[in-house]
Chains A and B, each alone.
Chain A
Amino acid sequence: MKLLTDTLWIFVRSLKIYFRVPFIVLMTIIQPVLWMFLFGEVFSSMADIPGFGGESYIEYLGPGIVMMSTMIAGAHAGLGIINDHREGILDRLLISPMYRSAIAIGALLQETVTMVIQALIMIGVAALLGATFSGGLIGIIQLTTIAVLLGLGMGILSTTVALFVLKEESLTAAASLITMPLIFLSGMFIPLKLVPNWVENFAAFNPLNWAVEAGREVITTKPDWSVVIPNSSYLVLMFIVSCALVLLAFQKYQKTL
């Protein structure tokens, strides 16, 4: 019971902070919308390339941008804990009788809420630009779930890194360094059969690519589950591994105190 209430209070606090900084809310939405619009327009003729598959480019790009937006949001999720460390809030919470896991779970719940909102906005924008989402509401729910799973996995990894570096600049640099290659070494912009072999090989280990592959399937009328299930399982595995890593990072953080 105490774990639930502790988690609730941290969740409410995190949500309030998020919405009190409108700039961040705006940036986390505007950036992916711009990606969707600019890439969708500039590369619209990509769909005509032989071997692309014939569908419209926005149909192809849409799920990828949804995944990318939650991944980028997740990659920066650790900034919150660095701020809490700097302000002494993290230590105050650790001294208190609060469940330690509530500190992480409460913040993750807030990330989940904001990622769902973000994913739905992206889906809306993609639909406005011409994507059909033929799998209907169920497909959209599945797509959003996969996007949030990717975002949370990245979010926990970001928190892990944050607890090691404890500096905003370092985390931001690490986030950019990691997300940029993940974006380009995936099948997000172009089918993997059209890119060099090494990119395709790398993409097999790329969480963004797992999410994109699975996401593209679930929004169709007949998803290929042999693609969805393994890729989603990798994401679940990444989530579990990152949870274990963040616990170790908390222990390491406390050892340095």
Chain B
Amino acid sequence: MKHAVEMKNVTKKYKKNVVALNNLTLKLTEGKISSLLGPNGSGKSTTIRMLTSLAYPDEGEILIFGNKKIDKHLIGCVSQSSGVDPMGTGRENLMLQGRIYGLKGKKLKERVDELLRVFHLQEDAGRLSKNYSGGMRRKLDLAMGIIHRPKLLFLDEPTTGLDPEARKELWNTIKRLQHTDGMTVILTTHYMEEADELSDWIAFINDGTIVAEGTAEELKSKVGKDTVTIMCNKQAQAYSILQASYQTLEDKDQLLVMVEEGEQKLAGILEKLRGNQINVSSVTVSKPDLGDVYLLYTGKKLSVEVGAE
């Protein structure tokens, strides 16, 4: 299995005391979609900046396709802060980006036309991109990132600020790039469902180091238990009854019961409550998701993180 990216004991400090990456080691496989997840300031964007040669490590080694020297033609990047020139038209942005990567003449024109078609930007190609919607600008951004058919594509929070429809569309495009063009994609995101949907491999970063990695299923299985959420009358009594048999938490007006194979245990839990004349008004069973993994490894609630964006 070849690695597109290898980071060995990479450390990066800003000013004197701010440690952005702390002895980070990471290997990402060629041809796969890998996601880097973590809270704000965990080191995701610093990692991307280093892998794209925008920033340099203080210590450690970075190999891209086995080489220390990064071949800039092999990588494409769609960063958080866009990169689209608002004072250029969609077509001009693409033409300039293509020229920078050495495309010219008929080949360049054909590639630009192809991307405008694929990303449904043909009709707006002659408009200044400052007049584009957020979704259109993001599509143009992605088109610019892949104009030179990179082998390795970095997407730094590519769907932040997009509506659900535009997000789904972008997901499909990213999958297509991997499947049909064999591109290695490295993604950072705050959206757990995005990472779950797209990633072959997920690495959680916290405080500048990798705290967990694996496939989404592997990571979710590490959380282990399902959560049975119960709303009922006599909550205090219900809590003491359930706590005797299961790991139970009180969360405002509901009880959270952590059990393995929650669906099968549900009947027994409800039986215990009914036997004590406790009326259950609602009950749900949820499987662990990446949000739970996030919470487990970063100690931060996802809702707060996303809300902060």
Q: For window 75-126 of chain B, which residues contact chain A by CB distance below 8 Å?
A: 75, 77, 79-88, 92, 96-97, 99-102
Instruction: Give 14 new A-B contacts, CB below 8 A, not counting A87-B81, A91-B79, A254-B55.
Output: A6-B100, A9-B96, A13-B85, A16-B87, A17-B85, A87-B85, A87-B86, A88-B79, A89-B85, A92-B79, A94-B53, A97-B73, A97-B102, A254-B56
Given A6-B100, A92-B77, also A257-B54 (CB < 8 A):
yes
Q: Which 7 A-B pairs have the closest CB atoms?
A: A88-B81, A92-B83, A88-B83, A97-B72, A257-B55, A17-B87, A88-B82
CB distance from B150 to the nearest CB of A (A): 11
Interface string of A171-190 (1 = CB under 8 A from B): 00000000000000000000
Residue of B nearest to A10 (CB): B96
Residue of B nearest to A90 (CB): B83
- Find chain B residues with CB under 8 A from A92 CB: 77, 79, 83, 97, 144
- Find chain A residues with CB under 8 A from B75 CB: 95
Interface string of A65-103 (1 = CB under 8 A from B): 000000000000000000000111101111111100000
- Find chain B residues with CB under 8 A from A257 CB: 49, 54-55
B87 and A95: CB pair below 8 A?
A: no
- Find chain A residues with CB under 8 A from B101 CB: 96-97
Cα(A138)–Cα(B53), bound, Å: 48
Cα(A20)–Cα(B92), bound, Å: 14
Q: List 24 A-B contacts (CB under 8 A).
A: A2-B102, A6-B100, A9-B100, A13-B88, A13-B92, A20-B128, A86-B81, A87-B85, A88-B82, A89-B83, A89-B85, A91-B81, A92-B83, A92-B144, A94-B53, A94-B54, A95-B52, A95-B77, A97-B73, A97-B102, A98-B100, A254-B54, A255-B55, A257-B55
Cα(A230)–Cα(B182), bound, Å: 62
- Find chain B residues with CB under 8 A from A89 CB: 83-85
CB distance from A8 to the nearest CB of B (A): 9
- Find chain B residues with CB under 8 A from A5 CB: 99
- Find chain B residues with CB under 8 A from A21 CB: 87
Inter-chain contact total with CB atoms closer than 8 Å: 72
Is A226's beta carbon under 8 Å from chain B? no
- Find chain B residues with CB under 8 A from A254 CB: 54-56
Interface string of A12-24 (1 = CB under 8 A from B): 0100110011000
B77, B81, B92 — which one has the most chain A CB atoms within 10 A of its CB? B81
- Find chain A residues with CB under 8 A from B49 CB: 257
Cα(A29)–Cα(B87), bound, Å: 21
A87 and B100: CB pair below 8 A?
A: no
Is A45's beta carbon under 8 Å from chain B? no
Cα(A9)–Cα(B92), bound, Å: 11
Residue of B nearest to A85 (CB): B81
Tell me the count of chain B residues lying within 8 A, CB to CB, of chain A. Answer: 30
Is A256's beta carbon under 8 Å from chain B? yes
Name A9's contact: one of B72, B81, B87, B99 (CB within 8 Å).
B99
User: Measuring CB to CB, which residues of chain A are less than 8 angstroms from any residue of chain B?
Assistant: 2, 5-6, 9, 13, 16-17, 20-21, 86-89, 91-98, 254-257
Name B14's contact: one of A6, A87, A95, A256 (CB within 8 Å).
A256
CB distance from A79 to the nearest CB of B (A): 13
- Find chain B residues with CB under 8 A from A91 CB: 54, 79, 81, 83
- Find chain B residues with CB under 8 A from A87 CB: 81-86
Cα(A93)–Cα(B97), bound, Å: 9
Residue of B nearest to A102 (CB): B100
Q: For window 54-84 of chain B, which residues contact chain A by CB distance below 8 Å?
A: 54-56, 72-73, 75, 77, 79-84
CB distance from A83 to the nearest CB of B (A): 9
Cα(A255)–Cα(B15), bound, Å: 9
- Find chain A residues with CB under 8 A from B97 CB: 92, 96
Cα(A89)–Cα(B101), bound, Å: 15
Cα(A255)–Cα(B49), bound, Å: 11
- Find chain B residues with CB under 8 A from A9 CB: 96, 99-100
- Find chain A residues with CB under 8 A from B77 CB: 92, 95
CB distance from A101 to the nearest CB of B (A): 14
B81 and A95: CB pair below 8 A?
A: no
Cα(A254)–Cα(B14), bound, Å: 11
Residue of A nearest to B76 (CB): A95
Residue of B nearest to A5 (CB): B99
- Find chain A residues with CB under 8 A from B54 CB: 91, 94-95, 254, 257
Given A5-B99, A9-B96, A87-B81, also A95-B53 (CB < 8 A):
yes
Given A16-B88, A17-B87, A257-B49, also A96-B81 (CB < 8 A):
no
- Find chain A residues with CB under 8 A from B81 CB: 86-88, 91
B72, B83, B84 — which one has the most chain A CB atoms within 10 A of its CB? B83
